[in-house]
Structure 1
Amino acid sequence: MTDQQTSTEPYLLATLSKNVLSLTLNRPRQRNPLSSHMIAALKAAIEAANENPQVRVVVIKGSGPVFSAGHDLREMSHKEDESREDHEARVRQVLLDCSRMMLAILHSPKAIIASVHATATAAGCQLVSACDLAISSEDAMFCTPGVNIGTFCTTPLVGVGRNIHRKHAMELALTGDLFSAEDAMRFGLVNRVVPAAELEEQTLALAEKIASRSAQGIRAGKAAFYRQIDMPIEQAFEYANESMLEALLSPDASEGTRAFLEKRAPHWGEA
């Protein structure tokens, strides 16, 4: 039975509080696969958040026993009445849509945090890597197990391999083993590991702290960081200098400086 046949519930549960939008993957019985429907729901939710001035930070989390098991293998499998060409076209489209969703997270002007309460597998691990920050429960696990079923987690490694050292990325992919939350933090895939009972509280505390900062500064700074990080260092400095100059001349920078000198809380512009 496929993901879309098992429930009429929404693929994502969305709640907005204190300028923090929480998006919860809502297919717990199927282990929150990144099916074509879930991918579409996530991309649409991120795009809507981008246009909502009430949203300053987005948190992505899972429901049930798994954060996300990655692609829906049933959906990706060949169907009995399907030609090879149709199967290839269908799977290609899922992979393309998934990459577009990951890029939507990367290019979103909002800060996006993954809150990982349990196992993140394959494209689920890629989803963690796509977010700007990640907090993990101490009992969470991470893996890219394509090698275990005769394939390779090539697309998850696009994001994972840009978060962590290439030898750690290749160990994940070549063994297909589960790695602990502490390993994931040591590798650089997550920022911090917290007790399971504190995950929700600490995630929200971080999200609300970021939401209290200048949305304009975060929007411009996030875009600049991801653009310069793969440039040669000379080009990166040249680009960053112009971006920094523009930021320093912005209304929020002027307000922030006045607030600092006047020892008061700043009043930022709209997100």
Structure 2
Amino acid sequence: MKDKISIIIHTPTGKEPKIISFKIKYIKYFSVLVLVFFFLSFFSYLLNVFFVQKYFWLKEKEKKIKTVTKLNNKYKEELTKLRNNLIKLENYLIERGVIKKDKDALGGLSRLKAEELSDEEYLSFLISQSEKLFNQLRITPTGFPVSGEITSTLGWRENPFGSGYEYHTGVDIKAPYGDPVYATAEGIVKYAGWLSDYGKTVIIKHPSGYETLYGHLSKIKVRSGEKVGAGEIIGYVGSTGRSLGPHLHYEVRLGSKFLDPLKFIVWK
């Protein structure tokens, strides 16, 4: 009986006890099966936990990929918009003669840059081009030198001091006496002083090749040879020289040619 285990079951009625015998080898087999069952159950639990975590991880990763893809597409769209806006600005400046069209122009051969460079490198390229355009604008006469009403433009006009006609070389802007006059672009003061019929005058030479003249000033704030920035006060409205009242005579020159200041004051 050594290879068996017996269980004696007593009944409360006083009947003969029941004896149930199990072979030890079967109990061992059963124990092994129980252990295997628990092992498999535990292993299954671990697998479920792993795959559930993996599922949520993949879902989160998929969500992040979609977000990154969306942002990347948006980035490329904005990059294209930036490039197109810069090309429009560049073409406009080329048409106005502010800059020259060359191989480095955004709308020219440089559009191949989009294929040659990564998005980040191309963005840096566009930023450098925008800085070039800005630097060119900074040295090109732009906007009003003083706030006021334009009373006379470039060209032939009746002589306000007598009979006949005379050629007016700029525009007259009526403004209150003493109002500040601003440089319309960065440059070097070429002349600051009294200049014949212009009265007290400032002439600025700009790196772009243009020159601007500000005449009939009441007071000059800058000196010859001084560097001035765009928007810097260079004098004040007056009526010196050949003048009928407070106003600013403003000219834009390129070499010996008088250009229409209106094209620089109001860009259309």
Q: Same fold (TM over 0.5)?
A: no
More strand by share: 2
What is the TM-score with the length of structure 2 in the denominator? 0.19
What is the TM-score with the length of structure 1 in the denominator? 0.18
- Higher relative contact order, chain-length normalized (CA < 8 Å, sep 6+): 1
More helix by share: 1
Larger gyration radius, structure 1 or structure 2: 2
